[in-house]
Chains A and B, each alone.
Chain A
Amino acid sequence: MSAPVAPADKRRVDAPMRPPWSQQGLLEVFRHRYILTLLVRREIAARYQGSVLGLLWSYLNPLSQFLIYYFVMGILFGRAQRTEDFAIHVFCGLIVVHFFVETMNAGTRSIVRNKSLVQKMAVPREMFPVASMLVSLFHVAPQVLILLVATLIAGWQPDPVGLIYGVLGLLIAMILGTAMALMFSAANVFMRDISNAVSILSNFVRFGVPMMYPYALVAARFRGHTDLYLLNPMTQSVLCFQRAFWVGATDDPARTAAIDLPPDFFFLTVRALAISFAVLVFAQSTFTRLERRIPERLL
């Protein structure tokens, strides 16, 4: 029988004594970049494994939505004749809305779905909603590529200011999406009802932003009372994307911007960013409050 070695004459650890649990918080997630990359890669690789069309489903879903909106709103309701390049108008909105809704839905389920990991490893648990956001973001790039081709055919002239708005628009959706994913993922552990509520919320997002109808219509119908509508950061996110890729494709961009975009556009964009960020801070504090009890409630 081997005699146990006398303590600490072979290995001496100089690290300080500290609590074993991982520091939590969003910033901490980015210190674990390697594992985040692996998680995102796993999600992407595993999502459509075993299906014949594979990754193509990520485009078929938004494409089918696009066709439905275009047919119902554009052709049936006649929007296509009244709004210039209506297809591009819809598609601009669809890209950010689809990204946001995906992030929110997949994010909400992320912790419950990864429970075997959550119960066994001491990493910041914000990792899972953030990974969901990044997986959804991964699918945005090819969609933007399709949009670029379409809008160039329609006669789009790129302008630097517009492109900056495009980036800001995506940023708003990213921040707000992460905030929602964070908040709902923790809440969903305690009440699985949350994921059902979130799919209802998704519908509000789809119809509550100027995607299948132009903003000009809202401005005309609710003249002077559009404040609440514009307070929704996702409205501004969609408008930013349209400013980037749709306005420049119309015959008279200056006129389009004047009619179909709200005044004080820059201010509204900054405000939407600020609101999204405030929601993110609130989401993080909610998450931190709930997070402690997550492992034991995940049974």
Chain B
Amino acid sequence: MGRKSDTRSIVVRHVSKTFTLRYHRTLKQMSVAMLRQQELSDSFLAVDDVSFTVQQGESIGLMGLNGSGKSTLLKMINGIMRPDSGKVLTRGRTAGLIATGAGFHAQLSGRDNVYLNAAILGMTEAETRRKFDDIVEFADIGKFLDSPVGHYSSGMFARLGFAVAIHVDADIFLADEVLAVGDRPFKKKCLAKMQEIRDGGTTLFYVSHSAGSVRKMCERVLVLEKGRLMFDGGVDEGIKFLHYDDDKESALDTEDELDEEMGADI
């Protein structure tokens, strides 16, 4: 903090998080397990001594295989979980696409749910009212706005959740597996919106398995492996480190294709 202007946005220092796995929940199961001398519980290190610093306006791609601790790390940056040891500091408001659709109540209308969801993501009533039309337009749910979200198709449900989350004015934007849902035009719209957010100077923290979209969105890559930070550096080296560059799986290809298409609009 000795510098005259502190431009750090996220500081993660020696952060670890352990989960306890409990195999047996009931008294009966526990006593049986004890007789057989089986383990009653086991602990598992989801995030293991991770440290890094992110400057304001940086866009980070967080990569790693399933179960490598990406979501847990994101939850700690978002403040949902606390680390067992170590320190997490952030500056300003954090929002993102990890709470999409959280708190949607199937029996309430899309309109009511937008207000509730926006509040959960930290927006005030005035702010929600101001952005309401943009949100509805982005979600593109048309006349269904006033019917219960329980009647929505799963795509519409996801779109409404995304639309709210993406309109939160945040200083740090976290995006977890954004492209997992939604049809192609919508994915395209989401990526474009995220680029807009990034270009506005918001710190972006992007979790993805798609080398193409990380290449497009990010300028730095972190790679987690079994909870440990194994790589922190440039995008191309990071992707090479993961051996994602020589994969020729069709899923990755379409993502890349999508990115190619988008290159034209920007």
Residues of A at the B interface (CB closer than 8 Å) are 1-2, 4-13, 15-22, 34-35, 38-39, 42, 45-46, 49-50, 114, 116-117, 119-123, 292, 295-296
Per the 8 Å Cβ criterion, residues 16-72 of B in contact with A are 19-20, 55-59
Cα–Cα distance between A38 and B263 once the two chains are bound (Å) = 41
Nearest CB to that of B100 among chain A residues? A120
Given A4-B59, A11-B56, A11-B202; A19-B88 close (CB under 8 Å): yes
Given A1-B263, A123-B120; A20-B79 close (CB under 8 Å): yes
Q: Is the CB of B94 closer than 8 A to any CB of chain A?
A: yes
Task: Return the contact of B79 from the options A9, A22, A46 (Cβ within 8 A).
Answer: A22
A45, B108: Cβ atoms closer than 8 Å:
yes
Task: Return the contact of A296 from the options B19, B103, B115, B124 (Cβ within 8 A).
Answer: B19
20 A-B residue pairs with Cβ-Cβ distance under 8 Å, sorted by A, are A1-B266, A4-B198, A10-B200, A12-B7, A17-B11, A18-B89, A19-B90, A20-B89, A21-B82, A35-B120, A38-B119, A45-B112, A46-B107, A117-B102, A119-B80, A120-B98, A121-B103, A122-B79, A292-B82, A296-B19
Cα–Cα distance between A123 and B99 once the two chains are bound (Å) = 13
Cα–Cα distance between A127 and B114 once the two chains are bound (Å) = 19
Chain B 112-124 interface 0/1 with A at a Cβ cutoff of 8 Å (1 = within): 1001100111001
Q: A17-B91, A20-B76, A38-B116 are in contact. List 15 more A-B contacts (CB 8 A).
A: A2-B195, A5-B199, A7-B58, A10-B57, A10-B201, A13-B56, A18-B91, A20-B94, A34-B125, A46-B107, A119-B80, A120-B103, A121-B99, A121-B121, A123-B120
Task: Return the contact of B90 from the options A2, A18, A123 (Cβ within 8 A).
Answer: A18
Nearest CB to that of B84 among chain A residues? A292
A46, B105: Cβ atoms closer than 8 Å:
yes
Q: Give the interface size bracket for B toward A.
A: 35 or more
Q: Is the CB of B237 closer than 8 A to any CB of chain A?
A: no
Given A6-B57, A22-B79; A11-B88 close (CB under 8 Å): no
Q: Which residues of chain B come closer than 8 Å to A295, judged between CB atoms?
A: 75, 80-81
Cα–Cα distance between A158 and B59 once the two chains are bound (Å) = 68
Q: Choose among A1, A35, A42, A295 the residue with the greatest number of B CB atoms under 10 Å from its CB.
A: A35
Secondary structure at the A interface, as helix, strand, loop or mixed, is loop
Q: Is the CB of B92 closer than 8 A to any CB of chain A?
A: yes
CB distance from A57 to the nearest CB of B (A): 15
Given A2-B195, A35-B119, A123-B120; A17-B6 close (CB under 8 Å): yes
B195, A17: Cβ atoms closer than 8 Å:
no
Task: Return the contact of B7 from the options A7, A34, A123 (Cβ within 8 A).
Answer: A7
Q: Which residues of chain A come closer than 8 Å to B200, judged between CB atoms?
A: 10-11
Q: Is the CB of B139 closer than 8 A to any CB of chain A?
A: no
Cα–Cα distance between A116 and B88 once the two chains are bound (Å) = 23
Q: Is the CB of B78 closer than 8 A to any CB of chain A?
A: yes
B91, A5: Cβ atoms closer than 8 Å:
no
Q: Is the CB of B187 closer than 8 A to any CB of chain A?
A: no
B57, A5: Cβ atoms closer than 8 Å:
yes
Cα–Cα distance between A295 and B120 once the two chains are bound (Å) = 16
Q: Is the CB of B14 closer than 8 A to any CB of chain A?
A: no
B78, A15: Cβ atoms closer than 8 Å:
no
Cα–Cα distance between A111 and B81 once the two chains are bound (Å) = 15
Given A2-B195, A4-B198, A296-B19; A121-B116 close (CB under 8 Å): no
Q: Choose among B77, B116, B266 the residue with the greatest number of A CB atoms under 10 Å from its CB.
A: B116
CB distance from B243 to the nearest CB of A (A): 23
A20, B78: Cβ atoms closer than 8 Å:
yes
CB distance from A117 to the nearest CB of B (A): 5
Cα–Cα distance between A114 and B104 once the two chains are bound (Å) = 11
Given A20-B77, A34-B119, A123-B120; A46-B108 close (CB under 8 Å): yes
Q: Is the CB of B193 closer than 8 A to any CB of chain A?
A: no
Q: Which residues of chain B come closer than 8 Å to A6, judged between CB atoms?
A: 57
Q: Is the CB of B222 closer than 8 A to any CB of chain A?
A: no
Q: Which residues of chain B come closer than 8 Å to A114, judged between CB atoms?
A: 103
